[in-house]
Every structure is written in C-alpha cells, then in structure tokens.
Amino acid sequence: MEDVSAKFVSQKISRTRWRPLPAAALQPPDVFATGSWDNEDNRVSIWSAGDLGNAGLNGEYHGEPHLLCDIQHNGDVMDMQFLDQERIVVASSTGTVTIFRHHQNNQTLSANHRWEKAHYHVDQDTSCGGAACTGVVCNNPEIVTVGEDGRINLFRADQKDAVRTIDNADSSTLHAVTFLRTTEILTVNSIGQLKIWDLRQQRNEPSQIFSLAGDRVPLHCVDRHPNQQHIVATGGQDGMLSIWDIRQGTMPVSLLNAHEAEMWEVHFHPSDPDHLFTCSEDGSLWHWDTSTNVSEKPSFLHQGGRSTAYLSHSTINQSVVSAWLSNDPTKDRMEITNLIPNQTLSVNSLDVLGPCLVYGTDAEAIYVNRQLFA
C-alpha cells in the first residue's frame, strides 16, 4: 500500500491517537500523539503526520511523520485520550493519571496535572501499591479511568481530587471504558462482561450487566456506534469481535471470527460508522466495511453538507442497523480487508479520523495511512 508512511521510532508503541479537529475544520487531521511501553525510558510524543505539501502530481502523499515534541513518562502508557486540542490524558501502569499540555507555540509538552496512584492494590500510601490504570475516556472536563484494581474514578480536569470513586466496581480487572452517553459509561472486564454504569446514581452497582456465554473470555476493548448508541462492539482475548445491542438480551447479537490472538482495540469510524477497525497481537489490522453499496453512499467528507441533506433519516440508518445487528453480518454485507499484508509483531493501537488511520506496533514503528477510502 503506497499511501502508508512508516516511521521507526526505537520504542514499542502502546497507543496512537489523532488530535481532534476543531468543529468547523475541513482539512484532514494532521497531528497525533503516541505513548510507548516496555522500554527503559517510556515517552509520550506528539507528531506531525507529514507534509501535505509534498503530495505528488496525482495527489498521492509523501513524507513520513516527524516528531514535534516528547516527554518522559513514568511507567508504561496503558491508554491515552485527548481532552481537547491542547491537553492529553495519559494512563500509566503505575496507577497514575497525568494530563499533559502540548504548547503549540514552542512545541513542548509539560505535565499539567497529575493524580498519583489513582489506581492501587493495597492502599495509596504504600510505595509499591500502584495498580495499572488500564483505560481512560474523556468528555471535557470529565475524565473517567478504570484499572487493574477494579476501581472506577471520575475526575474533572479542573479539580484536584476525584469527583467520585467506585472502589469495588469490579472484582476482576477492568480493561477498557468508554462513554455510552454523557452520564453513562461502558466497561469491559477480564471475565467477559460488559457493564453499563449510570454516574448519576449513587449506587455503586452497574445498571446493566451483559456477558459472553460460556467461557468468560477476557474482553480487552470496547467502542460504541457514534450515531446509534445501543450498538456496541467489543474485542477479546480470543480475537473475536462481538457486536451487542444493549436494548435487548444480555448476550452479543453477533460473534465474528476475527483475529488469531488478542484484539487490542476496536474503533467505529467516528463519522462513517459503516466502517469499523480492529487490531491484534497477531500483527493484523482489519477494516470491516458494511456499507452495502459503497458508490451510492454519501461521502463521509460531506457529512452534514448538501449531499446528505436529501437522504431521509431512515435510509442512512437502515444499512447500519441491518448490517451490524443482523445475525450474520458477514453473509453478503461485509467486506473485510487486512490493511497490513505482511504481518509482524503485535499491532497495539489504532485511531481513525476522516480519511486517515494511524497505528502503532511492537515492531517499534508508527504508520499513517492518509487515504483510507481511496
């Protein structure tokens, strides 16, 4: 694939995230962050995706990502999320959660705020008691973290102490968290459960529990459909992709054979959720496409623009509903492409925004694809 640029970075990459675009932006994303793990000196880094000015005569893209700035990070970067254009929240294997600020005028990173040992096994005061903070999700100014200690924290970017902590939220490791709505979160754990928590409730129990039948395979990642919040995707230790309809039943509506090893991340495309992306320990990154007839679909680059104004609401949603929630979405409606033809080491993280994909691997490289839908 010629439109993928690679950069070898001499560290294993655990997370890659696009900086969000301003609301009215028309240009593709151009800046992303990475976090590393399993290195003597772990770092949080901010990159420019490369110079669009280097595009060739046919508009193809040349130029590799280049480092804008980086900062040392204590422990492995377990997860990271942009809070806004300038701040990024990073979860550490030490249990600490840090907000870093990217100063764009002089391209530096600084630690803006830190919650020491937000997650811990015994008590916060023992020197070795930290438990890995495994997941973080932001809805500025709110930040939710989950950890190996089964704890859920709700922080606000402008407050020193946690707004709320659910101490024994789970008896097993919580691996990932995402917002379902502004007041509700979804978590997945190491015994194959998906749980909904209503942060308005003072009770420390989930409002709903869903689980994989049978083997209780650990779930590692979760994402919800951007337009239809009842559709949720999870990925687990066995590499399976599970699609859930949280309005009905307690089990997935479909289980799809995917990777041959752990699935580390799953992401619906934020503006074109007929497309879903998963990456795995087995060195593969899959693009799942359920748009039944791609040529008839409005281009996602014109979302909300003239081109979609004339489509009735139901026609847009119809393909989505029927595709992700049909009993066997793969039958005739789904195209699956492995975006990494020669697989090597684990692909730990991916992020997708507009026409652009960024992913990071244990092979100490980051990759940017700027023409996903070419």
- Predicted local confidence at residue 216, as pLDDT: 87
Name the percent of the chain lying above pLDDT 90. 71
Q: Kindly tell me if the per-residue pLDDT of 322 is higher than 80.
A: no
Secondary structure tally for the chain: helices H, strands E: 2, 28
The span from the CA of 272 to the CA of 278, in Å, is: 15
Give CATH superfamily name and number for 4-22+29-54+61-292+343-369.
YVTN repeat-like/Quinoprotein amine dehydrogenase (2.130.10.10)
Per DSSP, the three-state class of 372 is: coil
For residue 266, the surrounding DSSP H or E stretch is strand 263-268
- Predicted local confidence at residue 43, as pLDDT: 97
The secondary structure of residue 317, as a DSSP letter, is H
> What does pTM read for this prediction?
0.88
Reported as a single tens digit per residue, the pLDDT across 332-352 is: 568 889 998 777 799 999 999
Reported as a single tens digit per residue, the pLDDT across 109-133 is: 999 999 999 999 876 666 667 899 9
The span from the CA of 371 to the CA of 263, in Å, is: 24
Q: For 161-180, what is the mean pLDDT? A: 95
- Predicted local confidence at residue 310, as pLDDT: 25
- Predicted local confidence at residue 50, as pLDDT: 77
Cβ distance 171 to 190 under 8 Å?
no
CA angle 318, 320, 323 (to 5 degrees): 105
Q: Point out which residues pair with 100 in neighbouring strands.
A: 88, 111
Q: For 210-221, what is the mean pLDDT? A: 91
* Mean pLDDT estimate for the chain: 86
Q: For 284-307, what is the mean pLDDT? A: 56
Cis amide leading into 252 (omega within 30): no
Cβ distance 142 to 133 under 8 Å?
no
- Kindly report which listed range (23-32, 149-158, 218-227, 256-265) carries the lowest average pLDDT score: 23-32
Domain ranges of the chain: 4-22+29-54+61-292+343-369
Q: Kindly tell me if the per-residue pLDDT of 301 is higher than 60.
A: no
Q: Kindly tell me if the per-residue pLDDT of 312 is higher than 60.
A: no
- Predicted local confidence at residue 318, as pLDDT: 41
Q: Kindly tell me if the per-residue pLDDT of 303 is higher than 60.
A: no
Reported as a single tens digit per residue, the pLDDT across 24-64 is: 888 889 999 999 999 999 999 999 997 655 554 455 555 78
- Predicted local confidence at residue 3, as pLDDT: 75
Q: Kindly tell me if the per-residue pLDDT of 270 is higher than 70.
A: yes
